Structure 1
Amino acid sequence: MMKVTVIGAGAVGSTAADVIARREVADEVVLLDIKEGYAEGKAMDLMQTSSLEGFDTTITGSTNDYEKTAKSDVIVVTSGIPRKPGMTREELIGINAGIVRTVVTNALAVSPKAVIVIVSNPMDTMTYLTYQIAKEMGINKKRVIGMGGALDSSRFRYRLGEAMGVSQNDISGMVIGGHGDTTMIPLTRLATWNGIPVSRFINADSLEEVKQKTMVGGATLTGLLGTSAWYAPGAAICQVVEAILRDEKKIIPSCVYLNGEYGQKDICIGVPVVIGKGGWQKIINVRLSNEEKAAFEASAAAVRKMNEALS
C-alpha cells in the first residue's frame, strides 16, 4: 500500500493529487491544509471524479491533522505564500521558512521513512532548509528532493518543440541550476530530437530564444494568469513521485544536496539525478562546457546569497 501526502491543498497541491490519483501511482493520497475544511472539500471533489476517470486511488482531506498523514511513503510540500507587491525576497523567505519548518517537522515526525519533495518557493532555499531539518532528525539526505528541474525541463522541451515544429515528446532536454528566472540553465548544447542534437535543426539565435523563454517560463505564466501555474507543476510533482514509488531509476534534474559534486559544497541546487526507491540514488556528472560551468557557478552563488536569509 503506497501512501502520498500533499501538504497544501491549493491549485498546485490539488492538481498533483489529481494527477497522482488518475495515474494510480499511489493507493492513498492525503491532502492537508491549514484552512478549515478546504482539503476535505478538495478531496471530496476529486473523489467524485473516480467513477468518471476510472481510478481506485483513495483521496482524503484533513485540516492540519498530521496523524492522518502517518506512514506516508512520500510527502510533497507545496505550502507557503507567493511574493506580494512591496515584499522583499528576504521577507518571503522568512515567512515561508517558518511555514516549511513547521510542516516538514510535523510530517517527518509521523513518517520518518518518507521521501520529502519540496515545491514551496524559493524552492532551492526551502530544500536546503529541509535538508538541515532532516539532518537534525537523522534522515538521509537522499530522501530530500526539490522539485524544480522536472518542471523547468518540461518547459524547455515545450519551447524546443514549439521552435522546431515537432512533438515535444520526441525532445530530450534538461535544465540545471537554481529554480529561478536568472539562475536556471537550460542545456541547449545537450538537447536532442530522438537522439540527434537539436542544433542541427534550429540555428543559434533560435536556440538562444528558446533558452530565454524557458528561463522566464514561470513569470510568463504568472503575467498571463495573474497567479502561478498549476497544471505543469502538478504533473511534474507526479513524475517525481511516480519515479520514487515505482523505483523507476529515471534521470530527473532535481534540487539535491551537493558535497563536492559540480564543484559545490553545502548547497541544494538542481543537477541531474537518478530517482527511484528511497529518493535520489545517484548524481549524474555531466561534463559541462566552460560557459556552462561559469553559469552554474553564478547560479550557485545566487542561491547561496538567498540561503543567507535563513540565518
Structure 2
Amino acid sequence: MVKAVVLGAAGGIGQPLSLLLKHNPLVTSLGLYDIVNTPGVAADLSHISTPAKVVGYLPADDGLAKVLTGADVVVIPAGVPRKPGMTRDDLFKINAGIVRDLATGIAKNAPKAFVLVISNPVNSTVPIVAEVFKQHGVFDPKRLFGVTTLDVVRASTFVAEVLGDLSKAPSITVPVVGGHSGVTIVPLLSQSSAALPADFTQDARVTLTTRIQYGGDEVVKAKDGAGSATLSMAYAGAEFAEKIIRALRGETGIVAPSFVHLESDPASGAALKKEIGKDLEYFSAPVELGPQGVASIKPLGALTPYEKTLVDAALPELQTNIDKGVSFISASKL
C-alpha cells in the first residue's frame, strides 16, 4: 500500500503529474490538494481504471491535514509558473511562502513521508522545507529531495537528437549535477552512456550544455507567455516519484540525481564536499535510494577540464540560493 500526495494538484504541473501517478500501478491511494478545483480533478481522475483511490481536498475544513494523513510520498509542484523575462530567483518571492506553509502541514501531519520538492527555485525551496522541519523537530535529511530529474530528461533527449535517433533517448543516461537553475545545472556529457560523435567539437559541447542549462527558457519562450515547462516537469516528477516508491518497497540498486542535504549520508556527503572543494549543505548528485530514502551519495567521478569549470562556476550561485532559502525561514521567525 502506497499513498502518494500531490500538493498543488490543480495546477499546470499538478494535473498531469496526478494523472501519471494515478496511472502508476504502484500507487494505491492518491491524495490531491490545492486552493481551487481539487475535488473536480479528483473526480475526473477517479474514473480511470487503475488501482489508486483518489481524493481531493481544498483548504477548508482542515483539508491539508486530511490529505497528508497517512502519506508515504508527498510531491510539491505548488506555486506560480515562470513567465517570460522572469528568472527562477524572481519566483522565490512568490513561491517561498507557499512552500513554507505546505512544509508546516507536512511536518505536523506526515513527518515520516518522503518529500519531493518541484516548486521553483528548487535550490532555495528545498532548504526552506528543511528549516521548517527543523523548527518542528522532524527533519530527516534522508527523506527530503529536490527534483532535478527534468535536467536529466532533457540531457538524454538532447543527446539523442545530436545522435539523430530519438528512439535511443529512454536508454541514454547523462548525469546532471549541481543544482536546478541556470549555471548551477552541470551536465556531465563526458559520462553519457551514449558517446557523442567523434567529430563533436568543443563549441558544440558548449552549445549543448547551455541548451540543457536553459531548456526551461526555451519552453517559456515557445509558450509565449502562456506558461512554462509543465508537461515535461510532470513527466520528470512522476519518473522520480516512481523511483522513490520502488526503493520504499525494497528494490535495490536505484540511482538517480537529486538535490539533497549532504548530511543525508555523512560519509559520502563529506567525500563529495571534498571532491567539489566547498562545504555546501546541499548539492545535486547521483543518489542511491533505499527504503529509508538516501542510502548514499555517489561521487562525481572523472570530470573534463570544461566540466570542472562548470562545477566551479555553479558553487557560489548554489551557496547564494541555499542561503536565500535558509534566511527566508530565519526572517520569518522575527
TM-score for both structures, normalised by structure 2: 0.83
Are 2:54 and 1:59 equivalent residues in the alignment?
Answer: yes
Q: Of residues 240, 265, 271 in structure 1, which corresponds to 2:279? A: 265
> How far did residue 179 of structure 1 move?
0.8
Q: For 1:139-288, what aligned pairs fall within 5 Å after superposition?
A: 139-148=139-148, 150-166=149-165, 167-193=168-194, 197-200=195-198, 202-225=200-223, 226-247=226-247, 248=251, 249-259=253-263, 260=270, 261-262=272-273, 263-288=277-302
Please give the per-residue CA displacement for 1:92-125, whole angstroms capped at 9, x wherever unaligned: 3233221111101112311111010000111111
Distance 1:16 1:85 in 2: 23
Change (3 A) 1:274 1:199: farther
Gaps of 5+ in 1: none
Query: Which residue in the other structure is 2:322 paired with?
Result: 307
User: Within 5 A, what are the aligned runs for 1:30-69?
Assistant: 30-35=31-36, 38-48=37-47, 50-51=48-49, 55-64=50-59, 65-66=63-64, 67-69=66-68
- Cα distance in 1 for partners of 2:262, 2:131 equals 13
Give the letter for the 1:8 counterpart.
G
How far 1:134 sits from its partner (Å)?
2.4
In 2, distance between residues paired with 1:276 and 1:77? 21
For residue 267 of structure 2, what is the aligned residue in structure 1? none
**In percent, how many aligned pairs have the same letter?**
28
More off after superposition, 231-240 vs 153-162: 231-240
1:135 maps to what in 2? 134
Count matched residues. Answer: 301
1:207 corresponds to which letter in structure 2? R
How many Å apart are 1:300 and its aligned residue?
2.3
Cα separation, 2, equivalents of 1:199 and 1:85: 34
CA displacement at 1:211 relative to structure 2: 1.6
Encode CA deviations 1:218-259: one digit per residue, 9 max, x unaligned.
110111123112222112112221112211442111000125
**Cα deviation digits, residues 147-190 of structure 1 (max 9, x gap):** 01x11011001000011012212322121112112221111111
Distance in 2, Cα, partners of 1:269 & 1:109: 27
- Unpaired stretches in structure 2, ≥5 consecutive residues: 264-269, 328-334
Structure 1 residue aligned with 2:81: 82
Which structure has more strand as a fraction of its residues?
Answer: 1
Check conservation: 1:79, 1:120, Cα contact below 8 A: yes
SS in 2 for 1:265: coil
Report the alpha carbon displacement of residue 203 of structure 1 after superposing the two structures with TM.
4.1
RMSD over aligned CA atoms reads 2.2
Residue type matched to 1:29 in 2? Answer: L
Cα distance in 1 for residues equivalent to 2:89 and 2:316:
16
> 2:183 touches 2:313 (CA, 8 Å); kept in 1?
no
Please say if residues 244 and 293 of structure 2, whose CA atoms lie closer than 8 Å, have aligned partners that are also in contact.
yes
